[in-house]
Chain A
Amino acid sequence: MGEVMTSPHAENAIWVEILSRLHDVATRYRCAVLPITVGRAYDNDIVVDDPHVAAHHLRIHRADDGTLMVEDLGSLNGLYVDRERERRTEVALDAEHDLRIGATILRVRSTAHEVPAELPMVRGLPYWPAAIACIVGVFALAALDLWLSETGEPKAIRYFTPLLILTVVVCVWTTGWSVLTRVFTGHARFGLHFLVVAAGLLAYSIYDQVAEIGAFAWSWTSLATTSYVIAWLLLGAICFAHLVAINRARRPLKIAIACILAAAGIAMQTLKQREYRSTYGQPTTLNRLEPPALRLVAPQHDAAFFTDSTALRTTLDKARTVEPESGDASGENDSDD
């Protein structure tokens, strides 16, 4: 620092930074005297070992008005700014835009470049208590659900296997996202990812129970039969949260990825259900009853119930005139409607 301050050329010195593909600084050269040249040949001021870079590729100099300029010295692969596709011969440099030559990314900053303020150090692991609370909730709900549907001989293995599978899935999932985050940002953020998946699973477990009981309580079967829609939406939201945890850039793209994932999942499962129904003729009914005390709606009078049942006749009469879907190619046209 002191050296920079005392150097007579301090005001005019620049830093040339070679960036990795993830825009981290790989190497940094201080150049006190301009102009300089950049290229693969050893007589350059900065030597770049990139086969797509010319022997003498760039020249960086200061224009008469003091602006830093860079010019292409007639290379084959040219000079580009950021992700632009338009080739440049000469570019006025600022501190924000990157230069692209061959497969190498460069950034040029003067010593006068201002850096942002110092960030406070985050102490401890703020995500862990919440994540652990969530995962305990998930396990408790899963165990409760298993216990309440236990109608045969009680066996420990019935609890052990699903809970073990759940544990393994959570570990693998969280580790996967952490590794990804480490690759892109250098920090694993395991605690944050763990919180995301634990909170997501807890939300799903609660919704699943509410939907199942609510479908009975309000006699609203589709609440239970369409709970997979919510499950996929939640999975989309979880993935979005993971992507945001990696970094905060490109939010619209991440929203799009989450939406596509959820839509694809819902479409897949809807199709699968349809196919199953049309292959095996299984009716859609509530498949789990609850204790009678949980009923919240008033019962229908039997006359009204049979009036509603009679209304199904129109649907059936319409269905019988439609050719049954078959497994061959002609069936594919039908599956779109």
Chain B
Amino acid sequence: MMERRFDRFVRFGIALAFAAHAVAAAAQAPPIQPPPTPPPPTMSAAAESIYASARPGLLQIRTLVEAAGRQSSIGSGFLVSADGLAVTNYHVVSQYALEPKTYRLEFARPDGTQGALKLLAIDVANDLAIVRLEGANLPHLSFDDAALANTSPRGERLYAMGNPLDLGFTIVEGTYNGFVEKSYNPRIHFTGAINPGMSGGPAVTAAGNVAGINVAKRLDGELVSFLVPAGKAAALLARAQTDAPLDLSHARDEMDRQLLAWQADFYHALGEQGFRSAALGPYQAPESAAPWFNCWARTNADQTPKPRAQLDSTSCSSQSSLFIAEDIETGRAELSHAYVRSVDLNPFQFAAFVSQYYGAAGMIRSWSRKRLTQPECHEDFVEHGEGPAGPVLRTVWCARAYRDFAGIYDVAITTVTQDREKEALVSRLSMQGVSYDNAVTLAQRFVGEIAWAK
């Protein structure tokens, strides 16, 4: 809340300053011509030569519907070895990886040559894939040493390449802004225009070496784009060169294995980082101490008409989303607390008010019957067996399984304190893509920490 207000204030200040300046300039007559500044020739010249040298190694990667022979999605990629190994994003080839009988992969090079692609390896957590095209002595790009060592200087110029919106191969100049601080999966913050279709393309340094792989952008900002660090691609490449290629008929098993390994690390780290207690009225409730959570607060105090129960909530969600397919994402965890107190509701009305936050049962995001089972829930009144003294909690546990992957679930647990008639704390922990055991362990810990404030 503080951060948002501060942010708003700063922007407002800048806008005022600009307006004042413009008025002052208009009052002067005649307008003074700014001194001619020659364009920096080195920059565009650099981009020109970088594009010229990198271009032969670029690929457009198309997913075609087998039956129709037409493209259903496009992305980019780049060659990394003379014998035809290329790097792209997992999400560029995900349709093919999940449904190899329905789709096939094809590449198109800037010189117009086309051909079939073989999918060798995937890394779902880092959104990477290695593909191979037939050929020898192919032009290719290499990885940047500073990027591999994570020593790239902030502000370094990077050049993202790819084929945006199927318009043709493009080079985009931008700036390296270090790693995204709150992202669990390492991502480079690249300030430059990455557009759909450029996914999987390289972002290279001025020397023409790959520092990252184009992967995503924020829709609510300008030029806020993300790259997968080169080191992750180099590691997957090394694995693809030594290991047996991905068995497409069992691609889901491989993804399942990767998701299980990912969630084991993620939820272990979440537990390791521990919880810190936040005071909410007469209660204390756990908030994650992990750094990769984005937290927002909300209140209904300023609503009109004046709310009959005041609600102050905080909601923290982890920046750890994993793309699986168009209709399913996973990998996020959310902790939220809402402290509600009656203004002029009687106990029954207050219970009805609180029910709004209990009833939804807290499953994150939309549901797809193709991807997820129907949720199953268990609810009861719960009291602490051990740990700090706390109120009786009305608790509901809801879980649903992923149809494609064994042993992975979405789980949400919601609790409502039951010790006061006109005050309550509604707490929720939602976990996506979690193993059942991890979910139970973490939820048990979460519930155990909901207590009366000391």
Partner of B350, one of A285, A291, A316: A291
Check B436 against A310 for contact (C-beta < 8 Å): yes
Report the separation of the CA atoms of residues A300 and B447 in the bound assembly, to the nearest whole angstrom.
13
Please encode chain A, from 293 to 337, with 1 for each CB lying within 8 Å of some chain B CB and 0 for all others.
101011111110110111111011101100011000000000000
Known A289-B352, A312-B399, A325-B369: A319·B385 in contact at CB below 8 Å? no
Nearest opposing residue in chain B for A219, CB measure: B380
Check A284 against B377 for contact (C-beta < 8 Å): yes
A55-86 contacts to B, CB under 8 A, are: none
Instruction: With a 10 A CB-CB cut-off, give which of B305, B309, B382, B416 has the most chain A CB atoms.
Output: B382
Q: Kindly list chain B residues whose C-beta atoms are within 8 Å of the C-beta of A148.
A: 346, 348-349, 352
Partner of B373, one of A219, A280, A290, A320: A320
Is A279 an interface residue, CB under 8 A from the partner? yes
Nearest opposing residue in chain B for A153, CB measure: B305
Is A27 an interface residue, CB under 8 A from the partner? no
Check B354 against A289 for contact (C-beta < 8 Å): yes
Check A285 against B379 for contact (C-beta < 8 Å): yes
Interface size class of B (residues with CB under 8 A): 35 or more
Check B379 against A288 for contact (C-beta < 8 Å): no
Report the separation of the CA atoms of residues A323 and B382 in the bound assembly, to the nearest whole angstrom.
35
> Separation in Å of the A284 CB from the closest CB of chain B?
6
Of B205-213, B269-277, B401-409, which binds chain A?
B401-409
Known A149-B349, A315-B376: A306·B440 in contact at CB below 8 Å? yes
> Separation in Å of the A325 CB from the closest CB of chain B?
7
Is B176 an interface residue, CB under 8 A from the partner? no
Check B397 against A309 for contact (C-beta < 8 Å): yes
B363-401 contacts to A, CB under 8 A, are: 363, 367, 369-370, 372-385, 392-401
Check A281 against B375 for contact (C-beta < 8 Å): yes
Report the separation of the CA atoms of residues A320 and B436 in the bound assembly, to the nearest whole angstrom.
14
Q: Count A interface residues, CB 8 Å.
A: 49
Is A50 an interface residue, CB under 8 A from the partner? no
Check B396 against A285 for contact (C-beta < 8 Å): yes
Check A288 against B355 for contact (C-beta < 8 Å): yes
B416-454 contacts to A, CB under 8 A, are: 416, 418-421, 436, 440, 443-444, 447-448
Check B421 against A293 for contact (C-beta < 8 Å): yes
Is A151 an interface residue, CB under 8 A from the partner? yes
Is B345 an interface residue, CB under 8 A from the partner? yes
Q: Kindly list chain B residues whose C-beta atoms are within 8 Å of the C-beta of A153.
A: 305, 308
Partner of A281, one of B347, B350, B372, B393: B372
Report the separation of the CA atoms of residues A127 and B47 in the bound assembly, to the nearest whole angstrom.
95
Report the separation of the CA atoms of residues A289 and B347 in the bound assembly, to the nearest whole angstrom.
10
Is B351 an interface residue, CB under 8 A from the partner? yes
B328-357 contacts to A, CB under 8 A, are: 345-356
Q: Kindly list chain A residues whose C-beta atoms are within 8 Å of the C-beta of B356.
A: 151
Check A283 against B385 for contact (C-beta < 8 Å): no
Check A313 against B436 for contact (C-beta < 8 Å): yes
Report the separation of the CA atoms of residues A320 and B374 in the bound assembly, to the nearest whole angstrom.
9
> Separation in Å of the A319 CB from the closest CB of chain B?
4
Check B308 against A292 for contact (C-beta < 8 Å): no
Is A278 an interface residue, CB under 8 A from the partner? yes
Q: Kindly list chain A residues whose C-beta atoms are within 8 Å of the C-beta of B361.
A: 283, 285
Report the separation of the CA atoms of residues A65 and B439 in the bound assembly, to the nearest whole angstrom.
96
Taking Cβ atoms with an 8 Å cutoff, the residues of A that contact B are 147-153, 219, 221, 277-293, 295, 297-303, 305-306, 308-313, 315-317, 319-320, 324-325
Q: Which 6 A-B pairs have the closest CB atoms?
A: A281-B367, A291-B347, A299-B381, A316-B401, A148-B348, A283-B375
9 CB contacts below 8 A, A to B, read A148-B348, A151-B308, A278-B369, A281-B369, A281-B375, A292-B420, A305-B378, A305-B380, A308-B380
